[in-house]
A and B are shown apart, each in its own frame.
Chain A
Amino acid sequence: MTTEALRVGTGTAPCEDSAEAVVRAFFDAYRAHDVERMVDLCAEGAGFRYVPFEVWGRQRVLYGEGKVCTVGKVIWTTLIDAFPDLANAVTSLRADGDGNVAAEVGIGGTQAKDFGIIACTGGHYQVPHLFLFHVTGGGLIDDIVAYWDNVGWKKQLGCLEVD
């Protein structure tokens, strides 16, 4: 086993409570479908990685990885467009003293448009997610990583193809 890169982010860390408050505000904005506010809560150049987000084409694979202001904003906007009643509920929130926050969040919605390979059948989904944030001492999110299971998501929406 190897161990490396044990923490992410830069700058002075906030206290646990303030980091948690920023993350709660982020999900409040997400629940209100206020993508601009979600981006405003993030530092310029904030990192973004949705681990399960892989689009396999004939020539290359697209990953949900990059910056909040580009990749993240596009994914959130597209998701809200495809699932107009998209909602979230934070089920647990844990933080350390260095700005790291782990949030378990249930996310669900009813499909109104095709989303990637998931053709719209009007189905509803509810999927547990784990988000890992890093919040700077200035109270801005500078890193977002998320994990969820696409099998559960796709099965609920009637899509049975792996790719």
Chain B
Amino acid sequence: MSARSLAAEFFAHMEAGDADEILGMMTPEATVSLVPLNWHGPMAADGASYLRELSRSFPDLLVRVRRLFVTGDNTAVAEITIDGTQADAFLAVANQEKHFDLDQAWMLKVTPDDRISAVIAYWDQNQLYRRLGVKRLDKITITAG
């Protein structure tokens, strides 16, 4: 399977909320860096926690891959847009049932035997807060209607 196909599968599982399926695509020691959250650690812990919270909070999540290319070191680089309607607290933001969309960039490093060994993601958490009604960065749990 190519890194491109693997990335497409990764994001399809993200949309479906299949964190376990995603973990099954990883090497045992796979790492994750969710840069805006300053979460850097094992995919099996930090990555799975993020994915499970995402799918629980946005059960109607859609993931659209806008751009995808594979670099010489077999890293799939993807620009995606995620959107959905909030149904539960997410990253400490109280649920106001707001619809959000957010552009993100993900890099998936793929091994020669078609496993993902590292995941790095970038997005702007300020955009996420704005769309979910947060007004101040020191009071994330307080939202405006």
B112 to chain A, nearest CB (A): 17
Interface assignment of A5: CB less than 8 Å from any CB of chain B: yes
Interface assignment of B72: CB less than 8 Å from any CB of chain A: yes
Q: Interface residues, chain A, CB within 8 Å of chain B?
A: 1-8, 16, 51-52, 54, 56, 94-98, 100, 102, 104, 128-130, 132, 145, 147-152, 154-155, 159-163
Inter-chain contact B79/A132, CB cutoff 8 Å: yes
Inter-chain contact A7/B72, CB cutoff 8 Å: no
Interface assignment of B90: CB less than 8 Å from any CB of chain A: no
Find A151's partner among B11, B64, B125, B135 (CB 8 Å cutoff). B125
Interface assignment of B20: CB less than 8 Å from any CB of chain A: no
- Given that A1-B15, A1-B65, A4-B64 are known contacts, is A160 also in contact with B137, CB under 8 Å in the complex? yes
Inter-chain contact B72/A16, CB cutoff 8 Å: yes
* A42 to B39 alpha-carbon distance, docked (Å): 34
The stretch from B24-32, B42-50, B52-60, B103-111 touching chain A is B103-111
Interface size class, chain B: 35 or more
Of all chain A residues, the one with the shortest Cβ separation from B66 is A5
> In chain B between 74 and 133, which residues have their CB closer than 8 angstroms to a CB of chain A?
75, 77, 79, 103-105, 107, 120, 122-127, 129-130
Find B126's partner among A2, A8, A52 (CB 8 Å cutoff). A52
- Given that A7-B67, A132-B67 are known contacts, is A149 also in contact with B79, CB under 8 Å in the complex? no
A19 to chain B, nearest CB (A): 10
A5 to chain B, nearest CB (A): 6
